[in-house]
Amino acid sequence: MNELRPGAETRRFGRTASLLSAGVGISGLLTYLFFSLASHNLDATQYGEIVVLWSAVFVTISVAHRPVEQMLSRTIAERRARGEEIGSALRVGVAIQLGVAACLGVLALALRDPLQDGLLSGSETLYWVLVFSVVAFGVSYYTRGALAGTRRFRLLAALLVCESAARAGFALAVALGIAEGQEAIALGVAAAPALSLVAVPIALAFLRGLGDAGSVAASGSPPPVTVAAGGGFAAAVLVVMLSEQVFLNAGPLLVRAFEDAAAAGFIFNVLMVVRAPVLVFQGVATSLLPHLTRLRAGGGGEDAFHQSIRITLMAIAAFSALTLAVVAAVGPAAMQIAFGDDFDYDRLGLMIMAVAMGFYLAATTLSQAALAHGAAARAARCWAVSAALFLGWCLLPLIEDEARRVEVGFLGGAVLLALLLVRVYRTAPSDGIGPDSPEEIEARLAAADEAGI
């Protein structure tokens, strides 16, 4: 294996992260456009129902599909760095993803009455958008993981932008009078996964161009990835993804349960202070995991590993400080310009979310480092504890105002999560691990077992 130079590897990661972040940033702006146009062209209740649909879809797909995305990203990156075949990882990903999609479809059909009549206010259109989206998005997340693991970041960025553009197009059609009503905007939620169904054959054609994509492991080489191993890693990341969605989407759903759809729409807009930077940061996070895995698997990359983490955390600190300053100066006015004047936003609440955003992004960075170091189980425990405490706080009426309770709880949960993951990062094993040692075996199992964000 070639010795990795910290400076060169860090610069390469910086270029990759910048490229992907630009694509994800455009995707984020298009997502903002979708919600801004929806908010301006629907009344508060209709907009709140779109928010509930969106939250239900993205909680489900993030929990169900992102573990396979992370498994593919990390496992493929590690095996390529070691010169091993990746065909088995791709096949295991397909097997797991098909099983997940089938389970989601069966559950959605079995729970039609509570979903359609309880969650989605009796709308048949919103229900079928939900069913189609949660099943079809599996194709998109499989493709994202495969592209990230093989470092096809330009294709990955293009896929994300096209999906968001398709979604925003439906809201724009309503704004221009080409279409009308809540149902037309809701169809935009299903447009993104529908587009991914077209993009997958193109992505797989690029993967087939890799010499080792479908090869069989040579005699004496490490065994191929198995469903049991890939499923084990995905199970650990499943906990992380579920916890992440508790942070990002439980607020609107809980407010919807305790109050009404309009209140859910309000807290959803407030959480955009966190959600939008998290969406943009996905470009960094998506490239960070295979980058760190490659450094660790390639040998001699420990300095570059830690340098990449330090640079990312410094960038997050600078961005968080800037966001806090902007929110303190013009936050309420900017929110009303973006989402209409149906709601009044208080400056303190927006500032709380700006601070929480910084801690949350730092925690996400440290979580990726833990996955790359083979410490997914420990990271999962940190996420689970923090998310459970956040959820418990939101359910206790210690603060009467529902929105303020979610804001304060999010900040406390994000701070706790970051502190717990700092401890995991500091105590993770270094790359002085010998071949076939227990630590190396554990790390390799984690790479195959825990490859599931």
Distance separating alpha carbons of residues 168 and 59, to the nearest angstrom: 20
Distance separating alpha carbons of residues 387 and 390, to the nearest angstrom: 5
Average pLDDT over residues 24-45: 83
Is there a contact between 376 and 237 (Cβ–Cβ < 8 Å)? yes
Half-sphere exposure of 259 (CA within 13 A, CB side): 20
Cβ count within 10 A of residue 444: 18
User: How large a percentage of the chain has pLDDT more than 90?
Assistant: 15
Is there a contact between 210 and 150 (Cβ–Cβ < 8 Å)? yes
Of the two residues 24 and 368, the one the predictor is more confident about is 368
11-23 pLDDT per residue, tens: 565 566 566 667 7
Dihedral sign computed on CA atoms, order 36, 37, 40, 42: negative
Q: How much is the pLDDT for 375?
A: 80
Ranked by mean pLDDT, which of 245-249, 330-334, 350-354 comes out on top?
350-354
Q: How much is the pLDDT for 423?
A: 92
- Inform me whether the pLDDT recorded for 42 exceeds 90: no
SS (H, E, C) 62-102: HHHHHHHHHHHHHHHHHHHHCCCCCHHHHHHHHHHHHHHHH
Cβ count within 10 A of residue 429: 14
- Inform me whether the pLDDT recorded for 65 exceeds 50: yes
**Amino acid letter, 7:** G
- Inform me whether the pLDDT recorded for 70 exceeds 70: yes
- Inform me whether the pLDDT recorded for 441 exceeds 50: no
Distance separating alpha carbons of residues 20 and 32, to the nearest angstrom: 18
Q: How confident is the model at residue 35 (pLDDT cuts 50, 70, 90)?
A: confident
- What rounded mean pLDDT belongs to the chain? 77
CA dihedral 20, 25, 28, 32 (to 10 degrees): -170
Give whole-number Cα distances, 300 to 135, 232, 382, in Å.
Answer: 41, 28, 29
Cβ count within 10 A of residue 438: 9
User: How large a percentage of the chain has pLDDT more than 70?
Assistant: 75
Q: How confident is the model at residue 148 (pLDDT cuts 50, 70, 90)?
A: confident
- Inform me whether the pLDDT recorded for 54 exceeds 80: yes
Give Cα 277 to chain centroid, integer Å: 12
SS (H, E, C) the chain: CCCCCHHHHHHHHHHHHHHHHHHHHHHHHHHHHHHHHHHHHCCHHHHHHHHHHHHHHHHHHHHHHHHHHHHHHHHHHHHHHCCCCCHHHHHHHHHHHHHHHHHHHHHHHHCHHHHHHHHCCCCHHHHHHHHHHHHHHHHHHHHHHHHHHCCCHHHHHHHHHHHHHHHHHHHHHHHCCCCCCHHHHHHHHHHHHHHHHHHHHHHHHHHHCCCCCCCCCCCCCCCCCCHHHHHHHHHHHHHHHHHHHHHHHHHHHHHHHHCCHHHHHHHHHHHHHHHHHHHHHHHHHHHHHHHHHHHHHHCCCHHHHHHHHHHHHHHHHHHHHHHHHHHHHHHHHHHHHHHCCCCCCCHHHHHHHHHHHHHHHHHHHHHHHHHHCCCHHHHHHHHHHHHHHHHHHHHCCCCCCHHHHHHHHHHHHHHHHHHHHHHHHHHCCCCCCCCCCHHHHHHHHHHHHCCCC
- Inform me whether the pLDDT recorded for 289 exceeds 60: yes
Q: How much is the pLDDT for 3?
A: 47
Distance separating alpha carbons of residues 252 and 32, to the nearest angstrom: 17
Ranked by mean pLDDT, which of 30-44, 66-80, 314-328, 412-426 comes out on top?
412-426
Ranked by mean pLDDT, which of 65-79, 118-132, 297-311, 437-451 comes out on top?
118-132
Characterize 346-365 residue by residue with b for buried, 16 or more Cβ atoms within 10 angstroms of its Cβ, and e for exposed.
eeebbbbbbbbbbbbbbbbb
157-208 pLDDT per residue, tens: 788 888 888 889 999 999 998 988 888 999 989 888 887 777 666 666 666 5
Distance separating alpha carbons of residues 415 and 420, to the nearest angstrom: 9
